[in-house]
Amino acid sequence: MTGASLYSRDEAALSALQKLRFFPLAVARGEGCYLIEEDGRRLLDLSASWGAASLGHGHPALRDAIDGALAVQAGASILSGTNAIAVELAETLLRLTPGDGDRRVWLGHSGSDANETVARVVPAATKRPRMMAFSGAYHGGTQGSMAVSGHSAQDGVAKEDGLTLVPYPDPFRPFNGDASGQALLDYIEHLLETSCPGEEVACFFMEPIQADGGLIVPPPGFLGGLAKLCARYGILTVCDEVKVGLARTGSLHCYMHEGFTPDILVLGKGLGGGLPVSAVIGPAWVMDHAPAFSMQTLHGNPVCAAAALAVLKTIGTEHLSHAARVTGDALQGHILTGAQSVPEIGDVRGRGLAVGVELVDPSTNAPDADLARKTVYRAWQLGAVFYYVGMQSNVLELTPPLTLTAQQAEEGAALLLTAVQDACAGLVSDADVAPFAGW
Ligand SMILES: *Cc1c(COP(=O)(O)O)cnc(C)c1O
């Protein structure tokens, strides 16, 4: 198989430092919601590279925008001179993001650099030394973004001085047995009154769905309650929508399900439709703190900015928020129906086209990471690509292109269910998955 040879060339040439592999996937081409291997085998892409390929592969709107920007080539950056496409992107993001007062946009390359910038500038601008975030949170893979994250995959990485992590509200595994989240809100309030004084806290980082922590959807009202609590102490809310933002959950911004408006919004992954671009949208008094405070050479690169503009426009013209809600509901529905005869599926949850499937030992409800590892491997053998997330590595995560069709949702759900059942039946050996320790 020629796919194997591409994979072995990768092994010989590309650093393991940048790999998180689950099976020997080697992609020759992409087409819509499919990835195509060298031998022509088509795989239904239910991950979209962790949500980055938001319009699928080879969308004409994205191609045209990138081609157009390359033809004009208005410099490479906004660092020391502006360009029309980057300005239009910033203006569009401001228009699409509700918020009060004078606001600014910072453009970066990744979710990591965007969150790192927020973690640096908010304490500086507010002159408050503390920050809060959730355990299980993944805010990035650079030093500064890891320092405000709480994911177990980053255990051992130094945290920001003054960072306080609190549990994320997980209705399936509730804090103090309270699935409503109120016990957790009370606990956070207690912290703000005691060991983590609220008036010393600059900001609270939150994912409106905790994705890498296990695709956890918070109970209704929790984040709104938390935002109210933060407002009482002047704590800025930072909503990290890098994975679940921009139409994926059935509304343009995921926080719109939660009845609050964050002070600072962080976007990435799907914003560029596969090209590297991220954005922070926040109050001018924070975002204009000092020139050159958080800079890299290629900010506002017109090709990447054009890609982002094309994604935002296409979300509108193809009504992708609505599509994600309808197709996502169907995808979840098919999985839920099938899961009734698969006791190893402990929970199915999500919003729109962000779906999590938690795999457990049915007798104890304990997380089953081994089953997750074998399921994603089996799914790749059967013709679907998706990975797993979670502090216990036991939650299958589906973040397909927003352009997924109803038929593909049905096909994807069937592949997933078969993969779980095959993995339970022992069709994947320990040796098969041994090279893919995952995370
Ligand atoms: C992926 C992710 C990041 C980091 O983005 P990169 O582009 O990998 O740097 C940050 N926050 C969330 C919620 C993410 O899912």
Does the residue 398 lie in any domain? Answer: yes
pLDDT (tens digit per residue) in 166-222: 999 999 999 999 999 999 999 999 999 999 999 999 999 999 999 999 999 999 999
427 and 304 within one domain: no
336 and 277 within one domain: no
311 and 326 within one domain: no
108 and 208 within one domain: yes
Does the residue 249 lie in any domain? Answer: yes
**Which of 110, 134, 269, 277 gets mutated to test ligand 1 (max ligand atoms within 8 A of its CB)?**
269
178 and 146 within one domain: yes
347 and 307 within one domain: no
Instruction: Out of 317, 346, 362, pick the residue that ends a domain.
Output: 317
108 and 24 within one domain: no
List the residue whose alpha carbon is closest to atom 5 of ligand 1.
Answer: 111
What is the domain-level CATH number for residue 247? 3.40.640.10
What is the domain-level CATH number for residue 328? 3.90.1150.10
Q: What is the average pLDDT across 9-23?
A: 96
pLDDT (tens digit per residue) in 32-61: 999 999 999 999 999 999 999 999 999 999
Does the residue 263 lie in any domain? Answer: yes
Does the residue 1 lie in any domain? Answer: no
Predicted TM-score of the model (pTM): 0.98
212 CA from centroid of ligand 1 (Å) = 9
Q: Which residue has the tokens 């926080």?
A: 255
338 and 292 within one domain: no
72 CA from centroid of ligand 1 (Å) = 30
Q: What is the atom index within ligand 1 of the atom nearest the CA of 142?
A: 9
248 CA from centroid of ligand 1 (Å) = 15
pLDDT (tens digit per residue) in 390-423: 999 999 999 999 999 999 999 999 999 999 999 9
Give the residue numbers annotated as catalytic, written as ranges: 138
- Alpha-carbon distance of 269 to 113, in angstroms, equals 12
Q: What is the atom index within ligand 1 of the atom nearest the CA of 269?
A: 7
Q: What is the pLDDT of residue 369?
A: 98
- The answer to whether residues 25 and 435 touch, using CB atoms and an 8 Å cutoff, is no
Percent of the chain with pLDDT over 70: 99
Q: What token pair was written down for 97?
A: 């993001």
Indicate whether 8 pLDDT > 50: yes
Percent of the chain with pLDDT over 90: 97
Does the residue 419 lie in any domain? Answer: yes
pLDDT (tens digit per residue) in 328-344: 999 999 999 999 999 99
Q: What is the atom index within ligand 1 of the atom nearest the CA of 207?
A: 13
Specify the number of domains making up the chain.
2
Q: What is the pLDDT of residue 2?
A: 46
288 and 141 within one domain: yes
> Ligand 1: residues within 6 Å at CB?
50, 110-112, 115, 138-141, 207, 211-212, 240, 242-243, 268-269
Q: What is the average pLDDT across 354-365?
A: 98
Question: Side chain identity at 204, as an amino acid letter?
Answer: F
Q: What token pair was written down for 96?
A: 């699409």
Does the residue 439 lie in any domain? Answer: no
Indicate whether 81 pLDDT > 80: yes
Instruction: Out of 317, 333, 362, pick the residue that ends a domain.
Output: 317
166 and 289 within one domain: yes
428 CA from centroid of ligand 1 (Å) = 30
253 CA from centroid of ligand 1 (Å) = 16
The rounded mean pLDDT for the chain is 97
357 and 291 within one domain: no
Q: What is the atom index within ligand 1 of the atom nearest the CA of 140?
A: 4
78 and 14 within one domain: no
Indicate whether 4 pLDDT > 80: no
List the residue whose alpha carbon is closest to atom 15 of ligand 1.
Answer: 243
Q: What is the pLDDT of residue 438?
A: 73
In this structure, the number of other CB atoms found within 10 A of the CB of residue 369 comes to 17
**Which of 139, 148, 238, 275 gets mutated to test ligand 1 (max ligand atoms within 8 A of its CB)?**
139
Closest to 264 measured CA to CA, from 105, 78, 92: 105
Contacts of 342-349 with C-beta under 8 Å, sequence gap 24+, read: 342/417, 342/420, 342/421, 342/424, 344/368, 344/371, 344/420, 344/424, 345/420, 346/172, 347/172, 349/171, 349/172, 349/215, 349/216, 349/217
Indicate whether 1 pLDDT > 50: no
39 CA from centroid of ligand 1 (Å) = 32
Q: What is the atom index within ligand 1 of the atom nearest the CA of 110?
A: 7
Instruction: Out of 276, 302, 317, pick the residue that ends a domain.
Output: 317
Indicate whether 3 pLDDT > 50: no
- Structural domain boundaries, residue 108: 63-317
**Which of 107, 113, 210, 243 gets mutated to test ligand 1 (max ligand atoms within 8 A of its CB)?**
243
Q: What is the pLDDT of residue 161?
A: 93
Does the residue 346 lie in any domain? Answer: yes
Does the residue 424 lie in any domain? Answer: yes
